[in-house]
Amino acid sequence: MRKFTGSELLVASHNTGKIEEIAHLLEPFGITVRAASEFGLDEPEETETTFVGNARIKAHHAAKATGLPALADDSGLSVDALDGDPGVYTADWAETGEGRDFVMAMGKVHDALLTRGAKQPWSAKFCCTLVLAWPDGHDNVFPGEVHGTISWPPRGRNGHGYDPIFIANGHSITFGEMDRWEKNKMSHRADAFEKLTSALGA
């Protein structure tokens, strides 16, 4: 596995909440996060049907465009009773044509569960696949997951995306009710980052 030895890392994302989480997770390693917006990078079309495929598209696009190592993630909510949906289309379920509405998206998840007559508890997981790519085309892949259940109605204003309807196993509050930095310690992204640390430093 190739090691990353730099002090700055480009994060191929325009999601402010995601960039803040990644910056917080990398802070102990003395790594400064640079956002894609600082370089005026566009968002490439995500044409793959897997988390790793879409993360690779974003990471390699950013690395080749800037000549810098780039980190990208593709993440989403996978609900067992919905055959893994929304999955890689997690963000698409929130699209309105004028932006993303995650309140609407959470409602879609709930409506789909009721339509299928799915019995509670509604088991689900958040998935995150990190890809660290270099301009020469090499990459390292780090998958992460956190398992739990879907809760209704939504609770909490912290976090982002579908956090207000997800309760991680062993907890009684949603990610939306949890302190964001506490959530960062045990989230799907934290699981992937724990594996990423093997590629940081000498």
Catalytic residue numbers read: 74
Cα atoms in the Cβ-side hemisphere of radius 13 Å centred on 9: 30
Please state, as a whole number, how many other Cβ atoms lie within 10 Å of the Cβ of residue 180. 17
Structure token pair of residue 68: 């810098």
Listed in sequence order, the DSSP H helices in the chain are 16-26, 51-66, 102-116, 180-186, 188-196
Element of type H or E holding 96: none
Distance CA 72, CA 131 (A): 5
Alpha-carbon distance values, 198 to 3, 4, 63, 68, 116 (Å):
8, 9, 20, 20, 42
Closest CA to 77 of 152, 127, 114: 127
